[in-house]
Amino acid sequence: MGTLVSDYGVNSFKHFMAYKNAIMADDETLIKSFRRSMDLGAIPTVHAENGELVFQLQQEMLSKGITGPEGHPMSRPPAVEGEAANRAIRIAEVMNVPIYVVHVSCKESLEAITRARNEGQLVYGEVLAGHLIVDDSVYRHPDAEFSAAHVMSPPFRSKEHQAALWQGLQSGNLQTTATDHCCFCSDQKAAGKDDFTKIPNGTAGVEDRLAVIWDEGVNTGRLTMNEFVAATSTNAAKIFNIYPRKGSVSVGADADLVVWDPKGTRTISAKTHHQNIDFNIFEGRTVTGIPSHTISRGKLVWANGVLDAVRGAGKYVDRPPFNPMFDGLKKYAEVNTPTAVNSD
Ligand SMILES: [Zn+2]
């Protein structure tokens, strides 16, 4: 971790609380890693799902003969996520370290974040375009292949949770939007056709993130244009310490710009998208509000539907550690930690 921060421009570490028998971080790992992150000036992030609960529920589903993709959300109910989010946030509170919760998908996690923020704790929450827009009916689809294509963790949720996530963005308790872009084609998803626990977890979405959030967020009056820019760009740059080089249109900032056409329309489809995957979770959706031009590093790479990008032209951006802020937090913790006194 030290090498990554000092030599490779890394200032955050993701902790998987799910995936028992694979990459799951137990409480001891979380505590030690949060402390180490704090010492390095890096922010811990968490994939919040109770891996032990998921594992036990998966075994129960399989023993009941539920082997199809519908078993995936049944073994990962919202409380599984809410418990882990709250545990991670409480651990961060005790360690006095900021924390960022990735892909918040349900009310329970949002409530844990909101409570902590209201108490003055430095907690950030991210929501995925997919979780905002796609609901859990995809797992009850008659075509199991279609359902398997939607297997990701946390799973898509009911409309009630989606409404809460939009409110989280509106209230500012969720600050960023992402996609957890992770492509598996249908032949790869087929690995789990007789056992849902073997379906590779992941869906794509990075190409459509801005358009679907504009369409469902700004066109519906949930978000203002400025809130859209903050939630899709500026806030992430600020939280991960690369503002104003990123997330700002200003002299000296990187020339990465999107010219937005709020009246332009497009129908999303795997047949026409550029992502290297044969499925699109937003398939068939017609969005109003699309990019007309995209400039990357000062070069026009997208103009009116024509892509002109060069593979490998992107540049890695070092993210500096957060030392000044963390030093302040440490000082605050020292001042406010009660010292031992004689009991008599
Ligand atoms: Zn994750």
What are the pLDDT digits (tens) for 266-324? Answer: 999 999 999 999 999 999 999 999 999 999 999 999 998 999 999 999 999 999 998 75
The residue ranking higher by pLDDT, 116 or 329, is 116
Ligand 1 center from residue 337 Cα (angstroms): 34
Has residue 339 got a pLDDT over 80? no
Ligand 1 center from residue 122 Cα (angstroms): 20
Ligand 1 center from residue 12 Cα (angstroms): 14
pLDDT on residue 325 = 61
Mind listing the pLDDT tens digit for each residue in 192-245?
A: 999 999 999 999 999 999 999 999 999 999 999 999 999 999 999 999 999 999
- C-alpha–C-alpha distance, residues 142 and 34, integer Å: 44
User: Could you give the percent of the chain with pLDDT greater than 70?
Assistant: 94
Break the chain into its structural domains and give their ranges: 9-203
Q: Is the dihedral of CA 124, 134, 214, 302 positive or negative?
A: positive
Structurally, what CATH architecture does the domain formed by 9-203 represent?
Answer: Alpha-Beta Barrel (3.20)
Ligand 1 center from residue 153 Cα (angstroms): 7
Ligand 1 center from residue 104 Cα (angstroms): 10
Ligand 1 center from residue 310 Cα (angstroms): 29
Ligand 1 center from residue 263 Cα (angstroms): 34
Ligand 1 center from residue 18 Cα (angstroms): 9
Interacting residues of 92 by C-beta distance below 8 A, sequence separation 6+:
34, 44, 98, 99, 121, 123
Ligand 1 center from residue 339 Cα (angstroms): 39
- Identify whether the C-beta of residue 196 lies closer than 8 Å to the C-beta of residue 68: yes
Average pLDDT, whole number, for the chain? 94
- Identify whether the C-beta of residue 192 lies closer than 8 Å to the C-beta of residue 151: yes
Give bridge partners of residue 178 from the DSSP assignment.
128
Ligand 1 center from residue 87 Cα (angstroms): 16
